[in-house]
Chain A
Amino acid sequence: MQITYRNITPLQRSQFRSVGKRIDRALERGMMSEACILSLPDSASVYLVSDREMTDPIAEEVPGVSVRSESQNREAARQFYLDAIGAGTALVGEETMLDAVKDDFAESLSSARSGPVLRELFDRAIDLGQEICRFPEVLSNPITPAGLSGDLAGKIMEDISEAVVAVLGGAEHSGEFVRYWERQKVRRLYYSDPDYARAEHLASATGAIPVRSEERREAIVRADVIIQTAEIGDGPVITPDLVEENLRHRKQKHLLVYNWGGLRDLDASILKSPAVFVYGREELEQALHQARAKRDQVVERFRPRIHEAVEDFYEWLYSEQRFQFHGIVGASRQMQQVFELIHRVAETDITVLIQGETGTGKELVARAIHEISQRRGGPFVTINCGAIPETLLESELFGHRKGAFTGADVDRKGLLKEAAGGTVFLDEIGETSQMFQVKLLRALQEREITPLGSNVPQSIDVRIIAATSRNLREEVEQGNFRSDLYYRINVVTIQLPPLRARKEDILPLVRYFIQEYNAKMGKKVAEVSDEAAEALLSYQWKGNVRELENVVERAIALSLDHQISLNDLPASVLEAPETSGEEESPEVQTLEEMEKQHIQRLLRELEDNYNEVAEKLGIGRTTLWRKMKKYGLEREE
C-alpha cells in the first residue's frame, strides 16, 4: 500500500479541473485505488493511494502546474494531518480551514475518488485537527484581520454580542469582516460601501444593515466598534467631531477604531481620549505576524502527537481490522466498494435495497447502515417476510385494533410504528404477496400506516431497508413483484457479490471466524494448513459466507492441534471440482462469452491492472479497453 503526496501550484480553476480529470482517468484504469485533492490558500495538495508502485499521473502532464513538494507513505500521511490544520499557510489553526478541508474531502468521496484508506486518514486527521483548532493558545492568537478585530473588541468589551459594529469600505476588503461579525451575532452590524448596491448585496447574504453614504453618520455615532477597510468616498467619515459625538451618545463607553486601510490623517486629539482605542494597519499586521508565529509553535509542539497518530494509522493500514466493517469482513475491492456505499447511504434516510445470494450477509449490511446512521440510537427491527404467514405479517407491521379479526383481543401497535426513530429491515421482500406490496408501498409513500380494523392513519418515523436473494427486476418482468414498489425501494441498491466471486476474501474471513470460534469454544487454533486453504479457495461456496462460517466452526470443533488440516474439512468441500464460478455453466458458450469471461477473470486476478491484463492477453491496451466497453466490464462508479 503506497500513499503519495504532491503539493501543486499554481491553482487555477481550469488546471484544477484538468488535474481532477487526469486523476479520474488514472482511477478508472486502476493505476491507483484512491485519490483526493485538498485546496489550500495558495496551492493544492493531491493524495494518491495505490496497491503498488505507480507512475505519476499528474505532475508532468498538466501544463502550467508545477510540483512544489512531494513525499511518500508516512511522510505523506503526516502531511495530510498538517494540511487539515493549514500548517504553513496563512490560515494555520483556523476552523474555517478545517471546514474547507471537510468540504473538499466530501467532494472527493461523492465523486468516488476517495475510498476507505483516505477516509480513515481523513477521520483521524480531522479529530486531531479539531483539537488543535480549539487549543487555548491557538484560539487566543487570532491570525486573520477579522479575528483580531474580534479579539481586540473582546478585550475591551465584556460581551461582544452586545456590540454595535460598523464596517466601512469596499466589498473586496470588507466581506471577511462582515461575515466574521455576523457569526458573532452582534446586536447590530452596519455595512457601508461606496457602492450602495454592493453593500445591499453583501448585507442580504449576511444579515448586516446596508448603509447609504449619507446615512453613514448615524452608524459612526452609534458604533462600539468601527472597522474601516478602505477609502469610503463621499459622505461622513471618522472625524474628531464624530468620535466625540459617538462618546457622548454612548456615555463615554470604550470605542474601538480598527483602521485596516483607508483612514488617513486621523487627528491626534481623538487619540487622547482614554475611551478611544485606535489601531492602524501596520501595528495590526505586526500583531498578526506574531500570532502566526505563536500558532506555528503550537503546531510544532503537536508534531510528536502527529507522528504517533501516523504510526497508529499505519498500524491500522496493515492490520486485518482494516477489512472489518461492523462485523463484515471484506478485503476485496467489491466489498470495499460496498463499505463505501454503506457509508454514503447511511448519511440520509434513503430507502435501500440489498441484493445478494443467501448467506452473503444482507442483514449485517442493514445493521451496519443502521449503526452508522443518525438513527443508531433507535431500535433495529428485522422481519423475515418469507417466514411469516401473509396475514400475520400485515398485523405485525401495521398493527391491528382489538376485534379486527378472530383472536385479536388487544390493540397492537405495528412494528413500523413501534420502531419509531429506528430502522426496519424487511428480509426476503420478494416473497410477499401483491396485496401486501400495495400496503407497504402506501406506508412508504405516505409515511403513515393504518392498523387493521382502524380507519385512523398513524404517521411513522422509520427507515426501511429491504433485502432479497431473488433477482427483483426479473420478478417484476414476470409480474410477481409490483413495479411501483420495486422502483420505490430500489432507490439505492447494494449488490452483495457471492463469495466465489471474491476469493481474496475467503482467507481473511477464515481468520476472522477462527478468532471468533476460538473465543467461543476455548480453542487455540492459529492457522490453516496450506492444503486446507487451497481446498477452501477452490470450493464453490453456494451457501456463501454462512456456509464458510459453518465449515470453519466445524473444523475448529474437530481440530486436534493448532491447525486446521484437510481432515477437519467436510467431505463436500474436498470433493468439489476445481472450477471457477463462470466456467461451471453447463451450456455450450459462444466465443464472445468465453472472451468476456476470460477478460473478467484476468481483470479480477490482476486487480484491474490494465497494462498487465493487456500484456497477458497479447493485445494492446486500447483493444482491451474497447473490449471491456463492449462487454460492459468497466469499473462501475
Chain B
Amino acid sequence: MITVLGLHIGSLLLYGLSLVLYWRFFITKRRGTGRLAQWVLLAGLVVHSAMLVVFTLQRHFLPMGQFATAATTFVWLFGVLYFIQELLLKEQEFGVFVTSILTVVQAVSVFTVDYTKPLADILRNVIFEVHVSFMLIAYAGFALGFIAAVMYELLFEEIQGHRFGLFYSRLPSLEFLDKLNIRSVTIGFLFLTVGIGLGMMNADQAWGFFWEWDPKLTVVFVNWLIYLFLVGSHFVLKWRGQRTAITGIIGFVMVIFSFFIVTNFASTIHTF
C-alpha cells in the first residue's frame, strides 16, 4: 500500500515538474529545456507505470474500480498517447497543455484515492475492464481534442485581432489544430459509443437492466449527444474552424462536469 501511494505521489511530482519545464519551454523556445521536459515526463510515466503494475499485482485487478483509480489510469493513458505523438510529430508546443491536465487529474486522484476500499464483486469481469478502458480512451481523445480546440481559439484570436504575440510564434497552423481536434474527437466518439454499449451489457449482468435515467448515466448520454453533434456537424454540415473549436471546448467542459461533479455530489447507482 505504502509503495503504491509513494509511486502515485512520485509520479504526480514528476508531472508537476514537467509542467513547469514545458511552460518554460513554451516561453523561451529553448531546445534544451524542451528536451529536459521530455525526459522528466518520461520519468513520470515510468514511475506511474510502476505504480499501476504494483497495484494490479497486489489487487489482481486493473486500477479502475473506483473514480480515483480510473482517473489515474486515464492520466497514464493520456500521457503515453501524448508522449508517442511528441516523438512522432516532434511538436512539443502542446506539452504545457497536456501536462496541465495530467497534473490536475493526477492530483485529484492522489487526494481522493482510497486504497482500502474493496472491489465490488460485480465489477470482476472482463467486459467491465474493456468498458472502462474504452471510456478512458474516449476521454483521452476528447482531452486532446479539447487542447487542440483551445489552442485553435487562442491562435485564432491573435490572428484575427492582428496581434503577433505569444501564441502566433509558437503554435502550429490553424488548419493543423482544426484537423487534430476533429480527428481526436471522432476517435473519442467511436470509443465512447462502443464503451457505452459495453457498459449496457455490463449493467444488464450486474443490475438486470440496460439503462436507467440515473444522474450520471444521463450526463454521459448528454455528452454522447454533444459529441454526436460535434462529429455530425463536421461530417454532415461541413462545419470547421472556429465553430468546431468552440463546440469542442463546450463539450469537454461537460465531460469534466460529469466526471467531477456528478461523481462526488450526486447520488447515483453508477458509483464511480
Residue numbers in A under 8 Å from B175 (CB-CB)? 156-158, 253-254
Give the A interface residue count (CB, 8 A). 19
A154 located at the interface, meaning its Cβ lies under 8 Å from any Cβ of chain B in the complex: yes
State whether A252 touches B240 (Cβ < 8 A). yes
A277 located at the interface, meaning its Cβ lies under 8 Å from any Cβ of chain B in the complex: yes
Chain B 143-159 interface 0/1 with A at a Cβ cutoff of 8 Å (1 = within): 00000000000011001
Q: Could you give 16 example pairs across A and B, Cβ below 8 Å?
A: A140-B169, A154-B173, A155-B171, A156-B159, A156-B174, A158-B172, A158-B175, A158-B176, A158-B179, A251-B240, A253-B175, A274-B241, A274-B243, A275-B242, A277-B159, A287-B164
CB nearest neighbor in A for B167: A155
Would A157 and B241 be within 8 Å (CB), given that A274-B156, A279-B162, A290-B164 are in contact?
no
Chain B nearest CB: distance from A142 CB in Å?
10
A152 located at the interface, meaning its Cβ lies under 8 Å from any Cβ of chain B in the complex: yes
State whether B241 touches A254 (Cβ < 8 A). yes
CB nearest neighbor in B for A141: B169
Residue numbers in A under 8 Å from B172 (CB-CB)? 158
The 3 closest A-B pairs by CB, nearest first: A274-B242, A158-B175, A283-B162
Residue numbers in B under 8 Å from A283 (CB-CB)? 162
Instruction: Choose among B159, B164, B179, B241 the residue that contacts A252 (Cβ–Cβ < 8 A).
Output: B241
CB nearest neighbor in A for B164: A287
Q: How many angstroms between the C-alpha atoms of A274 and B176 in the bound complex? A: 16
Q: How many angstroms between the C-alpha atoms of A275 and B243 in the bound complex? A: 10
Q: How many angstroms between the C-alpha atoms of A283 and B168 in the bound complex? A: 15
Residue numbers in A under 8 Å from B242 (CB-CB)? 274-275
Residue numbers in B under 8 Å from A287 (CB-CB)? 162, 164
State whether B238 touches A254 (Cβ < 8 A). no
B29 located at the interface, meaning its Cβ lies under 8 Å from any Cβ of chain A in the complex: yes
Residue numbers in B under 8 Å from A136 (CB-CB)? 29
Chain A 245-262 interface 0/1 with B at a Cβ cutoff of 8 Å (1 = within): 000000111100000000
Would A155 and B155 be within 8 Å (CB), given that A279-B162, A287-B164, A290-B164 are in contact?
yes
B116 located at the interface, meaning its Cβ lies under 8 Å from any Cβ of chain A in the complex: no
B230-254 at interface with A (beta carbon < 8 Å): 238-243
Q: How many angstroms between the C-alpha atoms of A275 and B164 in the bound complex? A: 18
Chain B nearest CB: distance from A323 CB in Å?
42
CB nearest neighbor in A for B245: A274
CB nearest neighbor in B for A271: B160
Residue numbers in A under 8 Å from B29 (CB-CB)? 136
Residue numbers in B under 8 Å from A253 (CB-CB)? 175, 240
Residue numbers in B under 8 Å from A254 (CB-CB)? 174-175, 241
Chain B nearest CB: distance from A598 CB in Å?
67
CB nearest neighbor in A for B168: A155
Chain A 396-421 interface 0/1 with B at a Cβ cutoff of 8 Å (1 = within): 00000000000000000000000000
Q: How many angstroms between the C-alpha atoms of A359 and B173 in the bound complex? A: 66
- Most-contacted residue by chain A among B171, B173, B242 (CB, 10 A): B173
Residue numbers in B under 8 Å from A154 (CB-CB)? 173
Extra A-B contacts (9), CB below 8 Å, given A252-B239, A254-B174, A274-B243 = A136-B29, A155-B173, A157-B174, A157-B175, A158-B175, A252-B241, A253-B175, A254-B175, A275-B240
Residue numbers in B under 8 Å from A279 (CB-CB)? 162
Q: How many angstroms between the C-alpha atoms of A277 and B164 in the bound complex? A: 13
CB nearest neighbor in A for B160: A277
Instruction: Choose among A155, A158, A275, A290 the residue that contacts B241 (Cβ–Cβ < 8 A).
Output: A275
Residue numbers in B under 8 Å from A157 (CB-CB)? 173-175
CB nearest neighbor in B for A152: B159
Chain A 272-293 interface 0/1 with B at a Cβ cutoff of 8 Å (1 = within): 0011010100010001001000
Chain A nearest CB: distance from B184 CB in Å?
16
Chain A nearest CB: distance from B131 CB in Å?
36
Chain B nearest CB: distance from A247 CB in Å?
10
B116-174 at interface with A (beta carbon < 8 Å): 155-156, 159-160, 162, 164, 168-169, 171-174
